[in-house]
Amino acid sequence: MSGGRVWIVTGASRGIGAAIARVALEEGDSVALIARGAAVIELAQSLGDAAAGFQCDVADPESVGKTIDAILARFGHIDTLVNNAGVHRGGKIHRLTDEAWQEVLQVNLTGAMNMTRAAVPHMSEGCAVVNVGAVVGFRGFPGDSAYASSKAGLSGLTQALAIELAPKAITANLVIPGLVLTEMTSELSEAALEQMTQQIPLRRFAEDHEVAEVVCWVAQSRYMTGAVVPVDGGLLSSFGVV
């Protein structure tokens, strides 16, 4: 094992999660990358000996427990947990199915709770939990009731964790990415991308590594807990939220 700190990053097979893993590895730390699909194993192998991939369904407490045990066997301890795993199922409430609603809440919110509950007993003073939220958790958009509810719930969970974990000197903070260039957004038309860009005061999407750098900084801050940290190009400020 190389590096001093051991990170767990969920939803790490691509996008922001993979970028967080890369930044942590660049800092000389070790990273357990978690995702449901097998692609996370191959990605971790490509990142070197300090990375290890684990297939895990964060919505399933049994799967989470087995994965935490495997991570401890591999790395010996846990220092930073990043709850980044998420799914999006859109649709206005009269069209949103019960199955879609439950899936989003189970992965985005309950999944974060499952991971935190399993990891925290193995964490100590100086460790950190970083939850990855969303702008929609603070400012409503039509057709996003499930995703917005899950991310708003994640904000409340973060606040509670900050108080509960403070006696152990473990921090818990929430990072709020804005619109990020991903595989999903790359499929949008130029007109749609331009319309979305006009809502952002900085007039551009974020790169995933820009969000990852902030997540890694937040994880290292020892006197900040219960904080909401937007990395959104000013999007929340333009809505008068922060």
Active site positions, annotated = 147
Q: 3-class DSSP state for residue 198? A: coil
- Quick one: which of 183, 225, 236, 233 has its CA closest to 206? 233
Q: Which regions of the chain does DSSP assign to beta strands (E)?
A: 6-10, 30-35, 51-55, 80-83, 128-132, 171-177, 228-231
Q: Which two tokens stand for residue 129?
A: 């939990």
Distance CA 51, CA 71 (A): 11
Question: With contact defined as beta carbons under 8 Å apart, do 85 and 64 qualify?
Answer: no
Distance CA 100, CA 91 (A): 9
Q: What is the DSSP letter of 221?
A: -
Q: Which regions of 85-195 does DSSP assign to beta strands (E)?
A: 128-132, 171-177
